[in-house]
Structure 1
Amino acid sequence: METLRSDQNTSFSHTVFILLGFPGISESRQLLVIPFLSIYVVILTSNSLIIYRIWVDRSLQSPMYSLISLLFAVNISCTTAIVPKFLLDLLLGMNQISLAGCLVQMFIIYLTVTFESTVVLIMALDRYVAICRPLRYSTIMTKHLLVQLTFIGLARSVFLVSPIVILVSKLQFCRSNVILNFACENMGVLNLGCGDISKTHIAGLMVRILVTVADGSLIVVSYLSILHTAMKIVIGKARQKALHTCSTHLIVAVLIYSCGILSSLVYRARTSVSLDVQNLTSAIYFLFPAAVNPIIYGLRMKEIRLCLEKSYGRKKPRIESTE
């Protein structure tokens, strides 16, 4: 993106912004309450339900399931930072947000998005050790290591996101106070700034490249190593369990990264794409994986499915772990 400059008087800076949402359907905006509220209820219910079952069921007390519950907690955090505010905008017309509130929302959104990538990477590492180093799995993937990796990942996310939010907070917003989105996304806010925004733009681009390319590459290498090792396993249930479990994690990883890439590509082509389409892809990026991930794990992982059936449906006998 080219550096944006303004000849306007930069002594004035907006401190209150308007979240425009979907401008193409401004006259029937309240109709959006139904799909957004429905999706949010599904996300809260499904993610919370599986988190609860993982933490109370002894058969699911392993690093793999702890990471799944952590991923679902991130899903809830990200969507909660976005959807309730947007629903208030639609129902009550409360589409104003202060600069401080906007920066907080931006920080939470990108902190959770970055941390989500870290969790997916740790999940790939966990499956690599379980399949490629099975005899050492219990000694390597301990609860202590899991906690350490979680805090390191969280610290990395804070380290990557904080400079961007700080740089945005130092900008003067004299262009406009209308954010052409339903949430305080980085570029939507950045484009309202006066003067040179190149440093902030470069910082955001570097974080996106680091998270997407670096984490994505490590995940691909991990699963290629897993596939190579799994092919050496004698044909039977052992290979089937290994490939089935890893393919589930891989489907989730592909879903998360593909939604992120789609959102980025649509934004880059914003001159030929309407604002409503841009906002729709943003909504897909933030909401769709969070809504679908519990369904993927619930359908494909027998342990989770049987625990849910045992607690909330018909009872079935417990089966062996797929680890």
Structure 2
Amino acid sequence: MEVFNLTSSDSPTFILMGIPGLQPAHIWISIPFTTCYIISLLGNFTVLFVVGKEQTLRKPMYLLICMLALTDIGTSTSVMPKALCIFWFNLKDITLGGCLTQMFFLHTVSIMHSAVLVTMAFDRYVAICNPLRYTTILSNVRIAMLGLMGLIRAVLFVLPLPFFLSRQPFCASRVIPHTYCEHIAVAKISCGDITMNRIYGLLIAFLVVGSDLTLIALSYGLIIRAVLRISSRKAHHKALNTCTAHICVMLISYPPGLLSTLTHRFGQGIAPQFHIILANLYFLLPPMLNPIIYGVKTKELRDKVGKYTCRICLPEVTHSKPA
């Protein structure tokens, strides 16, 4: 049996199968996937465009929304172009370098996404619990530094993944039953011991999500304590309403991600089609819904988006003198 590893110069390419068992339906499956992807790109680029154009939106809260939009674009774009090539053109081959690159960017952006959600929770804590010091605690420069720290953390956590895979022997089977190069999916086709890959992958998942959720829970615990000290019910509602969008984004981000990770590793009795569709929806639905949530729940952003939408959709009125 032929054995090779990822560092071999003559290593053949991998084959991404798409969704095993549903290949005849790939074209039909691609329709909702493409729709979600296009809506995601339009929504997130609209947010970036509006915040970039409007000087009044150059605030920490909206810079964080832009960071979230960038991570949403990154996660969906890391997965969908290759998946659509498989669905539409049956282009299943992917080079070893391409597989490792996709894996690195995919997991890096996912961890960065979690870091942005933590920073957003801290932003809401400062806005509600220390409103008078908000501008001094959270400046645009400080938000940029927090974003850079989140990116460095993500890169350091993810770098060992392609390194571990590069040391794995791969036998004759080069078929990956997935639409993209997810770390554990690639590790499973190795004919070597992948114990380290499994342990490190789970360690990242629980360490990142566990620590981030702990910080978010701490922020909201302090927020709730501060809100309960306010006597006015109207003030209660106003304070908590500022957190609604962030809570909704967390609910559509963390539970599906954890479910996808756990079912892929421990759900041996679950159909592989369910694993793969769930994993793809995790990288499609949150990026599509996040700009909608913030557009609906954030009045200032909603008004600015409406202003630019009206400029595009409504023809300019030409003023001419009556004959």
Higher mean C-alpha displacement, 236-245 vs 152-161: 236-245
Do 1:174 and 1:193's aligned partners in 2 also have CA atoms closer than 8 Å?
Answer: yes
Q: Give, in angstroms, the shift of residue 194 of structure 1.
A: 2.2
Q: Give, in angstroms, the shift of residue 40 of structure 1.
A: 0.9
Distance in structure 1 (CA, Å) of the matches to 2:236 and 2:24: 56
Distance in structure 2 (CA, Å) of the matches to 1:167 and 1:190: 9
Distance in structure 2 (CA, Å) of the matches to 1:235 and 1:61: 31
1:102-157 C-alpha deviation (Å, 9 max, x unpaired): 00000010000000000000111111111111121111101221111111110000
Residue 138 of structure 2, aligned match among 113, 136, 141: 141
* 2:286 match: 289
Do 2:164 and 2:197's aligned partners in 1 also have CA atoms closer than 8 Å?
Answer: yes
1:45-71 C-alpha deviation (Å, 9 max, x unpaired): 011101211221223221011101110
Residue 47 of structure 1, aligned match among 41, 44, 47: 44
SS at match of 2:15: strand
Do 2:79 and 2:180's aligned partners in 1 also have CA atoms closer than 8 Å?
Answer: yes
* 1:222 match: 219
Q: Which amino acid aligns with 1:92?
A: F
* 2:320 match: none
Q: Which amino acid aligns with 2:45?
A: S
Q: Does 1:122 align with 2:119?
A: yes
* 1:265 match: 262
Do 2:3 and 2:171's aligned partners in 1 also have CA atoms closer than 8 Å?
Answer: yes
Identity value in percent: 36
Gaps (5+ residues) in structure 2? 312-323
Distance in structure 2 (CA, Å) of the matches to 1:310 and 1:12: 55
* 1:232 match: 229
Distance in structure 2 (CA, Å) of the matches to 1:253 and 1:77: 18
Q: Does 1:190 align with 2:198?
A: no
TM score, norm. by length of structure 1: 0.90
Q: Give, in angstroms, the shift of residue 236 of structure 1.
A: 5.3
Residue 69 of structure 1, aligned match among 66, 70, 73: 66
Distance in structure 2 (CA, Å) of the matches to 1:239 and 1:17: 55
Distance in structure 2 (CA, Å) of the matches to 1:10 and 1:97: 18
Distance in structure 2 (CA, Å) of the matches to 1:256 and 1:12: 34
Do 1:18 and 1:95's aligned partners in 2 also have CA atoms closer than 8 Å?
Answer: yes
Do 1:248 and 1:296's aligned partners in 2 also have CA atoms closer than 8 Å?
Answer: yes
* 2:309 match: 312
Do 1:19 and 1:180's aligned partners in 2 also have CA atoms closer than 8 Å?
Answer: yes
SS at match of 2:159: helix
Aligned length: 307
Q: Give, in angstroms, the shift of residue 223 of structure 1.
A: 0.9
Q: Does 1:164 align with 2:161?
A: yes
Distance in structure 1 (CA, Å) of the matches to 2:259 and 2:202: 15
Do 1:175 and 1:193's aligned partners in 2 also have CA atoms closer than 8 Å?
Answer: no
* 1:206 match: 203
1:239-266 C-alpha deviation (Å, 9 max, x unpaired): 3332111121112112210111221232
- Cα 1:243–1:175 change in 2 (3 A) is farther
- Cα 1:19–1:11 change in 2 (3 A) is closer
Do 1:175 and 1:194's aligned partners in 2 also have CA atoms closer than 8 Å?
Answer: no
Distance in structure 1 (CA, Å) of the matches to 2:95 and 2:267: 26
SS at match of 2:21: helix
Do 2:47 and 2:291's aligned partners in 1 also have CA atoms closer than 8 Å?
Answer: yes
TM score, norm. by length of structure 2: 0.90
Q: Which amino acid aligns with 2:13?
A: V
1:171-210 C-alpha deviation (Å, 9 max, x unpaired): 1211521111100001100001122211222111111111
* 2:275 match: 278
